[in-house]
Amino acid sequence: MEGLVPAVVQDELSGKVLMLGYMNEVSLAKTKESGRVTFFSRSKNKLWTKGETSGNFLKVVSMQEDCDGDAILIKAKPFGPICHKGTDTCFAEVNNSQTGFIDQLRAIIKDRKTNPIEGSYTSGLLAKGINKLAQKLGEEAVELVIEAKDSNKELFLGEAADLLFHYLVLLEAKGYELDEVVEVLKQRHGK
């Protein structure tokens, strides 16, 4: 392809494919240097940084070649709609899932278990042991139940976030993965 390599851009949080572009050595070097995805435009025969006119940049999180070395996967953080038509992706898909952040949070919790940081709330929780963690999770569950009886959305969502966070910490302390819980849910769904 005359020195061009396809580059698939994927949202780092949602996993959605945002777009496909082509890169050459110069655009790849500029992408690495600037941290913003830069392609080679085949129609205009020049480099272009995604977002240079719209402001909807793609901030590079990671880059890797495929197994054959003839394509690149770029995981990026999008700033605004990516398609020139104003849609979230060039495939007309909505990209508004926030659940990918859970994986980032899980990675932070795992890191705090392996590499405790003094003064870290998460490290402190993990250091207290399973019994204290289970007790804290129970307290958070009760607080959520209490807020469920009222109609204050902000307080309810705050307690829901507290419960989810402490649940993830307990899972990590027990050495279990959220994916294992999801597998149980999938098995139950099939029944």
pLDDT in tens, 120-144: 999 999 999 999 999 999 999 999 9
Query: How far apart (Å, rounded) are the C-alpha atoms in residues 114 and 175?
Result: 12
Q: What is the pLDDT of residue 1?
A: 63
Most confident of 50-54, 81-85, 167-171: 167-171
With contact defined as beta carbons under 8 Å apart, do 39 and 48 qualify? Answer: yes
Report, as an integer, the average pLDDT of 163-170.
Answer: 97
Nearest residue to 24 (alpha-carbon basis) of 45, 10, 9: 45
Nearest residue to 36 (alpha-carbon basis) of 70, 79, 65: 79
By mean pLDDT, which of 47-56, 96-105, 124-133, 175-184 is the weakest? 96-105
With contact defined as beta carbons under 8 Å apart, do 43 and 49 qualify? Answer: no
Q: What is the pLDDT of residue 134?
A: 97
Record the tokens describing residue 125, joined without a space: 């929780």
User: pLDDT tens digits, residue range 66-103?
Assistant: 999 899 999 999 999 999 899 999 999 988 877 778 98
**Average pLDDT over the chain, rounded to an integer:** 93
Query: What ranges make up the beta strands (E) of 5-141?
Result: 5-11, 17-23, 38-41, 46-49, 58-65, 72-78
Per-residue confidence at 34, pLDDT binned at 50, 70, 90?
A: very high
Residue 149 sits at the vertex; the CA angle it makes with 148 and 152, to the nearest 5 degrees, is 65
Element (H, E) at 2: none
What is the sign of the dihedral through the CA atoms of 97, 59, 116 and 180?
positive
User: pLDDT tens digits, residue range 138-147?
Assistant: 999 999 999 9
Residue 42's alpha-carbon distances to 3, 24, 46, 69, 145, in angstroms, are 11, 10, 7, 20, 57
Record the tokens describing residue 149, joined without a space: 């009886």
With contact defined as beta carbons under 8 Å apart, do 139 and 153 qualify? Answer: no
- Whether 13 shows a pLDDT value over 90: the answer reads no
Q: What is the pLDDT of residue 191?
A: 61
Per-residue confidence at 190, pLDDT binned at 50, 70, 90?
A: confident
Q: What is the pLDDT of residue 101?
A: 84
What residue spans of 115-177 are helical by DSSP H? 121-128, 130-148, 153-174
DSSP 8-state class, residue 54 = T
Query: pLDDT over 90 for what percent of the chain?
Result: 82
Q: What is the largest CA-CA distance in the chain?
A: 64
Query: Domains, the chain, ranges and CATH?
Result: 5-78 (3.10.20.810), 100-189 (1.10.287.1080)
Query: How far apart (Å, rounded) are the C-alpha atoms in residues 74 and 9?
Result: 5
